[in-house]
Amino acid sequence: MSNDYIILKRAGNEARYDVTKMRKVINWASKGLAINPIELESNAHIMLKNNITTREIQQSLILGALRLTSLEKPDWKYAAGRLKLFDIYKEISICRGNHKKIENIYNNYPKYLYKSIKNKIYTKTILEKYSQQEIEIAATYINQKYDLEYDYAGINLLAQRYLCEYNDSLWELPQEMFLTIALLVEQNAPTNNRLALVKDTYEKLARRKISLATPLLMNLRRPQGNLSSCFITAMDDNLKSIFYTIDQIAAISKHGGGVGCNISRVRCKGARLKGIKNASGGVIPWIRIVNDTAVAVNQQGKRKGAVTVSLDMWHMDIEDFLELQTENGDQRMKAYDIFPQVVIPDCFMKAVLSNTDWLLVDPHEIRQKYNVELSELWGKTFDSFYKKIEQDALNQQLEIYKFVNAKNIFKKIMKSQVETGMPYIAFKDALNRANPNKHDGVILGTNLCTESHSNIKPSIIHDTYFDNGTIKQEISNGLVHVCNLVSVNLATVDIEKELESVCKTSVRILDNAIDITSVPIAEGYLHNKRYRTIGVGAMGLADYLAKNSIAYEHSADQVDKLFEKFALYSIEESINLAKQKGTFQAYKGSDWDRGIILSKNRTWFLNNSQLPERWNSVFDNLKKFGIRNSQITAIAPNTSSSLMQGCTASILPVYSRFFIDTHANGSIPNCPPFIKEKLWYYQENKHIDQKKIVEIVATINKWIDTGISMELVYNLNRNITAKEIFETLIQAWQKNIKTIYYTRSIQKDGAVSGKNECSSCAG
C-alpha cells in the first residue's frame, strides 16, 4: 500500500506517505484555473520508494504540470508556478527556522525586516528612514494572493535571479521583496504622504503593472547597490585613457551594469605613434581586452559581463571591425563576447543609395592636421567637413585613407547580421537630431541594448605623480551615460483607467532611484546630476493588441494613440517633479528650455495629436516649471524580465505562440497570457514582413524621446532575398528610427542563427 512508504520531510524528520496531502497541494495549485486537478495526479510520475523526499515528490508534481501545458490548456503553466511557489515557501520556512503554514507565511514582516538587516542581507537605510510604526503600517500592504499570479517561468526566474539568499539558501519571499523595494524607493518623500506613495509603488510592482530593470530589482535593498542599468563611456586616443576606460568597464560590470563603449577616437591600424609610421595596432587589440574584461568581471555572479563596442563608419578599421564575430579569418582579430555596433551618419546611407565611394580615415591624422575630433561631428557640420577631407584625400593630402564602395561595405554589415545577429546599428544623425541636450554635447553611440543614449565624453588623464608616497592622477572628468529603466506591462494595465497613474509612478520611481543609487564611477555620478536621464519603457504590446482583437500588422493607428498617451503622461510627471524639486542641471539651452518636445514645437502637437488641449497645457507648464529629467522614455528588449512578468517582450510581436525554453536545468513550456481566447491575434514575428515591423516601430518611435530596442527577424523559409533585407534597413533609416538591435535569421532547416542572447541590462 502506498501509505506504507516512509518519506523524508524537509526538516529531516520521517513520516508515512499520505496521498491526501498531495491532493491538497494539487487542489491548492489548481484553484480558479481552467484545469482538472485529477489529470495532474495521474500524470505526476512519482516513483514511490522508502525514504523518498518531499522535495522529490514536489518536483514530480511540477514536472507533471509542465508536461500538461499546451496551447489548449495554458493554465497548467500557472499550476506549475504555484507548485514551484509552494516549494519556495517550504524552503524559506526551513531557512528561517519557523515552519509556518503557507497560508500564513507573510504574517510578520517587521520581524523579518529586522532579521534581514541584522544578517546584512538588507541595507539598514530603512530603519534610519522609517519609524517602527510606519514599518508596521507598511506591513499591512502585503497581499499574498499576488504570488499566485506567476506562471512557472516567472516564479522560477524570480527565485533564481532576484530573491535574496542567506547561507546559500533562499531567504526572501516575493512580496517582502516588493514591499522593501517600495519603502526604499520612497524613502525621501515628504513624511505626510510617504506611506501612501509606498503603497502605490508596492501595489504596482506586486501586481506586475510595472517591471523594474535587473539592477533595481536585484540591488535596491542590498547595501551599497548600483540601481542603474545602462552605462556608456568612450576611449580617448592614448594609453592612459584606454586603460582608465577599461577600468570603468570592469567597475560597472562588477556592480551589475551593462556597458556601451565608443572607440572611434582611437587611431587605426598602421597609424603613427610618436611619429613612427605603422606603429599602431588599431582598435581590434583594445576591443579584445574589453572582451576579456567582460568575461573576467561578471555581473555579481548572476550574469556574465556585457559590453557593446561602437565604431564610426568612417574609421579606417571598420572592415576588420565587421569581421570581429565571423568564424573565418585570423582568430587573433576576433572578439566573440562583445557586441559590435556601427555608428552610421546620413551621408554614408546616401552614398549607399547612390552607389558611390566612401572614405575611410584615421581619426589621429584628422586631429593632427585639422584639429578636429571627427567622432564629435554630426549633421551638416560633419557633412561639410567630410566633403573637405574627401577632396584632400583625392588630392593625396592625407597619409592614411581608403576609398571603398559604400554599398559593398553595407553588404558586409548585412552579411554579418545574417550570420551573427550583429553588428547593431546606431544612426548617428537620427540620434543627435532627437537629442534634447544637443546644446551641451554629442551622442557617440548607444548602450548595450540600443535604447538608451545621451551625451558622453571621455575623461582626460593628464598626469600621474607621487605625493608623499601616494600615487595620484590629474583627471579632467568626462561624462559616462547612466540610465535607470522600468517597463510598463501593457498586458496587465487597463489603458483607460490605469495607464496615466502607472506611467507617473514609473517616472517617480526612476527619478527617486537617481538620488539613492551608488553609481560605481565618478563620471556616472556627474552625468546623473547633469542630465537625470531615465527610461520608462513598455512590454506586452503584443498581449494588449491580442486582448483587444487587433492584429499586430494592422495596429498602427491603435499604437499611435497608445504611445501618445504614454509619452504625455510620462512628460507631465517629469514636469510635476520639476515643479517640486527643480530641473536637471543642463536644462538651460536644452530643447525643453526652448519649448521643443520630442523634436516638435507646440504647433505640431496642436495640429497632429489626438490630445491637443492636453499637450497645450504641457507646453504651458513646461515654460513655467521646466522638466526634471532630460530624457524620459526608452523601450528596452526585456527578454528575461518579461518572462517574470508573464507577458510578451517589449513592443514586438511574439516570436512563437508556443515555445519550449530549453536550458541546462530542463525545458519550460511557455505561451502568451491570452493565447487560449485570442490565438489568431497573436501574429508570430517570424511570419511577418519586417518592413511592417519597421512601420509600427517608427510609429512608436515618434513618441519615444530616447530609443527602442528593435529586433529584426529574417525568415529564410519565406524565400526572403538580400534585396528585401537591404530595403528593410534602408526603410528603418528613412523612417528616422535611431537604432537596430539584434537580427535573427531562421534558416531553411529551422535553425535560428544570429541570436547570441545578450545579458540585457534591462533584464
Give the distance, in angstroms, between the CA of residue 721 and the centroid of all CA atoms in the same chain: 31
Give the residue from 552, 670, 572, 581 showing the smallest Cα distance to 614. Answer: 572
Give me the active site residues, please.
447, 449, 451
Q: State the amino acid at position 495 in one-letter form.
A: I
CA pseudo-torsion sign 667, 673, 678, 681 = negative
The alpha helices in 582-646, defined as continuous H runs, are 602-608, 612-625, 641-645
Q: Which residues contact 758 (CB under 8 A, 6 or more apart)?
A: 258, 306, 339, 448, 449, 637, 742
* Cβ contact 41:27 at 8 Å: no
Q: Which residues contact 310 (CB under 8 A, 6 or more apart)?
A: 260, 261, 262, 263, 264, 340, 341, 342, 343, 424, 426, 444, 445, 446
**What grid cell was written down for 667?**
525545458
Residues in the chain: 763
Indicate the burial class of 624 (C-beta count within 10 angstroms; 0-12, 13-18, 19 or more).
exposed
Give the residue from 391, 328, 344, 436 showing the smallest Cα distance to 740. Answer: 344
**What grid cell was written down for 582?**
527643480
- How far is residue 122 from each of residues 166, 212, 257, 753, measured CA to CA in Å? 11, 18, 20, 42
Give the distance, in angstroms, between the CA of residue 294 and the centroid of all CA atoms in the same chain: 17
CB-facing half-sphere around the CA of 627: CA atoms within 13 A: 32
Kindly report the backbone phi and psi dihedral angles of residue 361, in degrees, each rounded to the nearest multiple of 5, phi listed first: -140, 170
